Amino acid sequence: MPNHYKERWEGPIRGLRLPLAAWNSLHNEGITTIDQLTAAADWLERLPGIGLHMARVIREELARVSAAE
């Protein structure tokens, strides 16, 4: 059975690999592009379903993708 908090999945934002729980929370908030996610990066932990740990995971993944570009 997949662990929706630890396994990483491809999602609607190309290049990012995030836990399924993160994708679900971002989808629920209408965040569907890298630009929207970048704009929300400073307050991710305030979104429902995203705590401090998940916000850190998302920010690290954003940094990885940004460095690759």
Express each pLDDT in 38-67 by its tens digit.
999 999 999 999 999 999 999 999 999 888
Query: Domain for residue 19, yes or no?
Result: yes
CATH number of the structural domain spanning residue 51: 1.10.150
Residues 15 and 65: their CA atoms lie apart, in Å, by 7
Cross-strand pairs, 10:
17
Mean pLDDT of 26-37: 95
Range of the domain at 62: 9-68
Query: Domain for residue 3, yes or no?
Result: no
Give the predicted TM-score (pTM) of the model.
Answer: 0.85
Average pLDDT, the chain: 88
Overall domain count for the chain:
1
Query: Given pLDDT bands bounded at 50, 70 and 90, which one contains residue 5?
Result: low
Query: Domain for residue 4, yes or no?
Result: no
Rounded to 5°, the CA angle 38-13-49 comes to: 70
Query: Domain for residue 2, yes or no?
Result: no
